[in-house]
Chains A and B, each alone.
Chain A
Amino acid sequence: MKGNLRDFSTTQILNLVSLAKKTGTLSVERKDMRGSLSFKDGKLIFAAVGEADGSLASILARDGRITKEQAAALAKHAQKTGDKQLGLLLIQKGYVTQSDIIQSIKRHSLAAINQIAGWKEGSFFFDASRMPDDGRITVPLDLESIIIQLARVQKLDEQLEEEIPSLDVCLKFVNQPGVQLKDLQLSKDEWRVIKYIKPDNTIRMIANTLNMSDRQIRRVIGSLREAGLVELVRVVRRQPLTPEERENKRNIVDRLIGRLQAS
């Protein structure tokens, strides 16, 4: 099974894997990043994307359970013994519990699948014979709830695309915000975007400056608009009319008004 996410989305692939209870590894690749999702009997058991390679050391470090330095030392150890042995060692030494490891891996897998689901383009290939190395710790996750969640997010993203069809428009703060400003709680990303909101900056310019994807910036702008804080403003700048053109236009509008008032 292979193709492009442009034609067959991650959510659709996951649905197929779940329904057919497939076993194997889905590799997804786009220009700047690659990821892989492994399944057993239609359940997600292992995920890796970009630098988050799914190794126990990196997962625990990202989850803040160990430091980066510790992770680097443990990664070397795991190369020899595998993640399962490393996990046992960490539990025995009392650094983490079994539950900590399972929860961290679940969180990592969900984050990876969410990230890959956001890719709209990229080649994919499902290899039924490829599975994670024996040394890896695999935690099975039901795909059904993940698919429902992804479909919901996808629908929201589609709605946002309809609401903000072009990123080449500017933003401005509304005169009367639809929210009590003292009650306002903004996310880190929303604060970052707010800093750049002015009539001269298009959404695309803000996204480029903050290194945000189209999807990320749409979500931030969407929530700021939903809160009634900002609105889109026209970006097309009108050439000022010459005095003669202004007079002609005024004449036309006056005549139209006269015609309508008389009718």
Chain B
Amino acid sequence: MPTQTVKMVITGPFNSGKTEFVRSISEIDVVSTERKITSEAERDIKEDTTVAMDFGRITVDNDLVLYLFGTPGQRRFDFMWEILAQGMLGFVVLVDSARPETFREAKSILETFRAYAPTPYVVAANKQDMPDAWSIDDLRIALHLDSDVKMLPCVATKRESVKNVLLELLYSILEEIDAQEE
């Protein structure tokens, strides 16, 4: 029987922690397409950025593999987004809880992905371990998220935290399947 593959997409603004998120949970070394940042303003934030995608893998068994795709965060690489979104099981929107200047962009990315495909999603409030991180409640208000949208605390460098986010997304997918049955 050929191996079945399913995918989830990890998206969010520049420097929201997508690459770290995929790295923390992937069983293989993440295939990353990072390049040196050319913009001075962005270089102040980090040295490298993803230009095409990050690619991670979780093998379930001989027949099933989950691929994780991290999208590039900058708008100038958004031509990759729709390609990555095709056929996804669900998606995670990462928000840098400590950088309110990126919240508007995060909401915009969330809405763009919702328009690509009607799949379940969760919002992960990353960098919750930072002292100036916004609380989940405040973030929900800032992002104008409905109470039925799952918003989860996250520290993308910690595997357990990433695992929890992915599990919550999977539970949402199950809920959607159940809802279709009713």
Residues of A whose CB lies within 8 Å of any CB of B are 159, 162-166, 168-169, 174-176, 178, 225, 228, 231-238, 240-241, 246, 249-250, 252-261, 263
**A256 touching B60 in the complex, CB below 8 Å, given contacts A163-B104, A165-B108:** yes
Is B77 on the interface with A (CB-CB < 8 A)? no
Number of residues in B with C-beta < 8 Å to the partner? Answer: 36
Neighbour of A175 across the interface among B60, B105, B116, B146, CB < 8 A: B146
Q: In the complex, which residues of chain A have a beta carbon less than 8 angstroms from the beta carbon of B167?
A: 257, 260-261
CB distance from B65 to the nearest CB of A (A): 10
Among candidates B58, B105, B118, B171, residue contacting A259 with C-beta atoms closer than 8 Å:
B58
Contacts of A232 in B (CB 8 A): 111, 114-115
Q: CB distance B144 to A174 under 8 Å? A: yes
> Helix, strand, loop or mixed for chain B's interface?
helix
Among A228, A250, A253, A254, which residue has its beta carbon within 8 angstroms of that of B144?
Answer: A228
Q: How many A-B residue pairs have CB under 8 A?
A: 92
Give 19 new A-B contacts, CB below 8 A, not counting A166-B112, A252-B4: A159-B104, A162-B108, A163-B108, A163-B111, A164-B111, A165-B115, A176-B146, A176-B147, A228-B144, A236-B116, A241-B180, A249-B177, A252-B6, A253-B173, A256-B170, A259-B59, A259-B66, A260-B166, A261-B167
Contact yes or no, B174 A259, CB < 8 A: no
Q: Which residues of A contact B43 (CB under 8 A)?
A: none
Interface contact A255-B117, CB-CB below 8 Å? no
Minimum distance in angstroms from B138 CB to a CB of chain A: 12
Contacts A232-B115, A241-B180, A246-B181 known; A257 to B170 CB distance under 8 Å? yes
Q: Is the CB of A162 within 8 A of B163?
A: no
B180 CB contacts on chain A under 8 angstroms: 240-241, 246
Closest 6 A/B residue pairs (Cβ)? A259-B60, A238-B118, A234-B114, A234-B118, A232-B111, A163-B108
CB <8 Å contact, B148 and A235 = no
Which B residues between 105 and 125 are near A, CB-CB below 8 angstroms? 105, 107-108, 111-112, 114-118
| B:12-66 near A, CB below 8 Å | 58-61, 64, 66
Chain A residue contacts of B64, Cβ below 8 A: 252, 255-256
User: Are B171 and A257 within 8 A (Cβ)?
Assistant: yes
Whether, in the assembled complex, B75 has its beta carbon less than 8 Å from a beta carbon of chain A, the answer is yes
Is B1 interfacial (CB 8 A cutoff)? no
B111 smallest CB distance to A (angstroms): 5
B115, B116, B141, B177: the one contacting A253 at CB < 8 Å is B177
**Across the two chains, which residue of chain A brings its CB closest to B61?**
A255
Q: Can you list 21 A-B pairs, Cβ within 8 angstroms, ordered by A?
A: A159-B104, A162-B75, A162-B105, A165-B108, A165-B112, A169-B111, A174-B144, A178-B144, A231-B111, A231-B146, A236-B118, A237-B118, A252-B6, A253-B173, A256-B6, A256-B58, A256-B66, A257-B170, A257-B174, A260-B163, A260-B167
- Chain A residues, CB < 8 A from B111: 163-164, 169, 231-232
Which residue of A has the minimal Cβ distance to B146?
A: A175
The answer to whether B115 touches A236 (Cβ under 8 A) is yes
Provide the B88-110 mask, 1 if CB < 8 A to any CB of A, else 0. 01000000000000001101100
In the complex formed, the residue of A with least CB distance to B159 is: A263
Contact residues in A for B118 (Cβ distance below 8 Å): 234, 236-238
Query: What is the minimal beta-carbon distance from B178 to any residue of chain A, in angstroms?
Result: 9
Looking at the assembled complex, report how far the CB atom of B28 sits from the nearest CB atom of chain A, in whole angstroms: 14
B104 touches A178 (CB 8 A): no
| B174: chain A residues within 8 A (beta carbon) | 250, 253-254, 257
Say yes or no: A178 contacts B170, CB within 8 Å.
no
Q: Which residues of the partner chain B approach A246 to less than 8 Å between Cβ atoms?
A: 177, 180-181
Q: For A159, what are the chain B residues with a Cβ–Cβ distance below 8 Å?
A: 104
